[in-house]
Amino acid sequence: MVDNEMAELEQLEQLINDRPDEEVLQFRQAQLASGGLNTVVGSLLAAACTTMLTLDSLSNVNLTVRGMITVSLMLSLMSVYFTLVQLRELSLPTSAQTLRDWLWNGRHRPRPASNKDPEKGAEDSSKPLKESSLTANILLQAPFELLSTAISLFLGGVAAYLGLAMKEEVILGTGDRPNNEAMLITFVVCTAFTLLVFGQALGQKDRERERCERVQAADELAADELAKMAKMARQQASVKT
């Protein structure tokens, strides 16, 4: 969690200091689009929680299930609300510079010297870096984190509901037998399979991204070495002539 937070702050810092205005405005548009999707998912989850709280059979199981669904409902509504706050904050900056100022915490720190060109590094080191704002990053990430927690609680509440209904033989449907055990097994298998496949894909993609970053860094280092060697060769040739 801390590593992800630091990586996000570093990306915002690069956006503030080194990226062109077009990328800054594209970042704003991407956040606005993501916020719109977050409100849709949060609203659907809130509707699902409300529907589940109206089930008559919910009164026949432990109160923990109702508590989990209620907290999920609250978090989904808060996710929608904070998304609206985020969209309002992002709609106020009308230019790339004002958005940079919104992402900035008002402090500077020295810029590290560039490893690519010593002369350019000495020039760039005189310009301090603007630090990214932790508060702005929280405003950007909080709606998604709240929604993720709400989804986890909802799935946990449904699993607890089915498990307690099976244990206490609560009739959830029609027929001679409640078949609560089959419903619980089906829910657990489908949910576990989905989370396992998607989680494995995300983990594999993270490893691929790290490998790509290492290869790209090695290629840039090799290109820098070749450029230095070519520069030295040109200097030696000019001295001989």
Residue with tokens 């983990």: 203
Q: Which residues pair with 104 in a beta bridge?
A: 132
Domain map of the chain by residue range? 2-178, 180-241
CA dist 36 and 232 (Å) reads: 54
Cα 181 to its chain centre, rounded Å, is 36
Q: List 108's β-bridge partners, or say none.
A: 130
Task: Please give the pLDDT value at position 39.
Answer: 93
User: pLDDT digits over 183-196, tens only?
Assistant: 888 889 999 998 89
The CA distance from 44 to 66, in Å, is 18
Question: So what's the pLDDT on residue 1?
Answer: 55
- Residue 102's Cα: distance from chain center in Å? 19
> If DSSP codes are grouped into helix, strand and coil, which group holds residue 125?
coil
Look at residue 218 in the predicted model and tell me its pLDDT.
86
Q: DSSP label at 57?
A: G
**DSSP labels, 34-97:** HHHHHHHHHHHHHHHHHHHHT-GGGGGS-HHHHHHHHHHHHHHHHHHHHHHHHHHHHHS--SHH
pTM confidence score = 0.76
Judged against a pLDDT cut of 50, whether residue 125 lies above it is answered with yes
Mean pLDDT to the nearest integer, 122-150: 83
pLDDT-above-70 percentage for the chain: 88
Question: CA 104, CA 13: separation in Å to the nearest integer?
Answer: 8
3-class state of residue 169 by DSSP: coil
Res 175: pLDDT: 58
Orientation of helix 21-53 relative to helix 63-91, angle to 10°: 150
Condensed to tens digits (0 to 9), the pLDDT of residues 80-95 reads 999 998 888 888 777 8
> In which residue are the tokens 């986890």 written?
152
Cβ atoms 2, 78 nearer than 8 A:
no
Print burial letters for 118-133: b (CB count within 10 Å at least 16), e (below 16). eeeeeebeeeebbbbb
Cβ contact 134:105 at 8 Å: yes
Beta strands per DSSP E along the chain? 104-109, 129-132
Q: What is the pLDDT of residue 116?
A: 45
With a cut of 50, say whether residue 68 has pLDDT above it: yes
The average pLDDT across 198-210 equals 85
Task: Read off φ and ψ for residue 33, nearest 5 degrees.
Answer: -65, -40
Complete DSSP assignment for 127-160: SPEEEEPHHHHHHHHHHHHHHHHHHHHHHHHHHH
**What pLDDT is stored for residue 153 in this prediction?**
95
For range 192-209, the mean pLDDT: 87
Which of 68, 75, 87, 27 has the alpha carbon at shortest distance from 153?
A: 68
Does residue 70 have a pLDDT over 90? yes
